[in-house]
Each structure stands twice: as structure tokens, then as C-alpha cells.
Amino acid sequence: MTAAGLLLATSDPANVPRHVAIVMDGNGRWARKRFMPRFFGHEQGMETLLRVIDLFADRGVEYLTVFAFSSENWKRPDEEVSGLMNLVLIGVAKYLRKLATQGVRIRIVGDRSGVSHKLRAAWDEAELATASNTRIHLSVAFNYGGRWDIVQACQRAVRDGLRPDQVDESALAGRMALSFAPDPDLFIRTGGEMRISNFLLWQAAYSELYFSDCLWPDFGTTEVDAALAAYARRERRFGDVHAPEVVPQGA
């Protein structure tokens, strides 16, 4: 594709993903390269997230879902785990007002039962303060795992009294943590690893995958635009022989 063609493709709103999901990976390696503690990388990672939210919102992305702490990240040293928890409290105190005025609607998705009362109170504050915003829906996946999400959706279905024949895809989809959002169109992982690491297992069934070697704290305008350009070039078929847009009328 020529540069002009690419510009046309990415400027067509039909080629902009409605929902982008990101595994923000590489903070620790970014810090290590600078002979700094891993926490320094996480701090920089938070600053990056702030910039990236705005970049995607400016480009017309409606939903942004980011992986901040996985169900498996509890295996890390206590010091790193508590550092990450504190960073959330710092982030809410430092940036909530700014995000609220920028039109960002914040939701936290994940198992809240595993985190402290203080953290839950900060989440509630962030969700409440931004509940009427509509520019971009930011979902922060914290203490989240794709397997946890599927299990909790099944548990809710049981609690709701569904019979086995009523447990179908839409019954579960409506009970998943991101039930308010369309499935992610574009799934980005930074940091060079090519794996999903238990992120959105259910929702990413037909997401376009994009892996970047960029370590998360370095992710910026160039990388955002490269990911969106790559997405605009993909042909999504959803199991059909053609992309839905090119299927002739009446076919």
C-alpha cells in the first residue's frame, strides 16, 4: 500500500477499531536497561498509559481495555505486588481529576474480592467521578484473568437460576466483565512476547492480534499509529470467505 493509500485507509472511520485491548508489557525490562528498580518501570508505564488514552481517544477509538495486573501477577515478589497496588492509589490521586475532565469513563474489571478495601474505595471513586463521561471508555483490568472471567460468568448464570439449555453464548457474554463493550477489534501486546497471558480469552476470539517489540514505557504516537495502520490493512472474515463489507447484497 502506498503512503497516500495508507493515510486514506487509516482516516476512514470504518477502519478505526472501536475497541482496542492492550497487554502493557515490558516495564521491568525497561527499568533494568536503565539500571533502575522494576518499580521505576511501572511508574513510567503509568505515565505512558495516560498519554496513550488520549492518543486513542483522538483517533476515534471508543473503548480501551488495558491489562494492569493479572490473576497470576500475585506470584511476583511481595514488594513488587504492593508497589503496584500503591501505584494505583497514587494514579487515582494524581490523575483522576484530569481524566474526568478529558471525558474518560473509567471502569475497573477483575476480581475485586482479592484487593484491599483502600484499593476498592479508590476504584469506586474513579468509576463514580467519571460515570457520565462518553469520550472514551477506559477499562483497567486489575486482578483479572480470562479464565477467572469465564468462571465468574458461569457462576452468575448459576446464581441467576439458568437451566443448562439456557446457558448459551449470549447468556455468558452478557455476564462477562466487559459485557458493556463490543469485543476488542485490535489486541496489542507490547514487550515482544507473543502470548495472551490469560487476558481476554473469551472476548478476543476474533480480535486482530498485533505484537510490538516496544517496551510499554516507550509506547507513544508512532507506535499507536503503526498499530492502527496495521489494523486498517487487515481483512477480517469472521469465518466467512469475504470480509462482511464486501459480501454482495442478497448473497
Residues annotated as catalytic are 25, 73
- Tell me if 110 contacts ligand IPE by CB under 6 A: no
3-state class (DSSP) for residue 2: coil
Cα separation values, 213 from 49, 120, 188, 245, Å? 17, 33, 11, 32
- Complex with Mg ion: residue 63 or 199, whichever CB lies closer: 199
Q: Could you tell me how far CA 209 lies from the centroid of its own chain?
A: 13
- 8 A C-beta contact, residue 138 and residue 53: yes
Count of chain residues binding ligand IPE (CB under 6 A)? 17
- Tell me if 66 contacts Mg ion by CB under 5 A: no
User: Which amino acid, 15?
Assistant: N
Applying the rule CB under 6 A, the residues between 48 and 87 that interact with ligand IPE are 67-70, 73, 84
Applying the rule CB under 6 A, the residues between 190 and 209 that interact with ligand IPE are 191, 193, 195, 197
* Residue 195 interface partner, choices Mg ion, ligand IPE, none, CB cut-off 5-8 Å depending on type: ligand IPE
Report the alpha-carbon distance of residue 11 to residue 14 in Å, rounded. 9
Residue 165 Cβ vs ligand IPE, minimum distance, rounded to whole Å: 36
Q: Is the dihedral of CA 101, 143, 67, 173 positive or negative?
A: negative
Cell of 184: 476488542
Closest chain position to ligand IPE (CB)? 28
Considering only 27, 65, 139, 212, the residue that binds ligand IPE (CB under 6 A) is 27
Q: Give the footprint of ligand IPE on this chain (CB under 6 A).
A: 23-29, 67-70, 73, 84, 191, 193, 195, 197
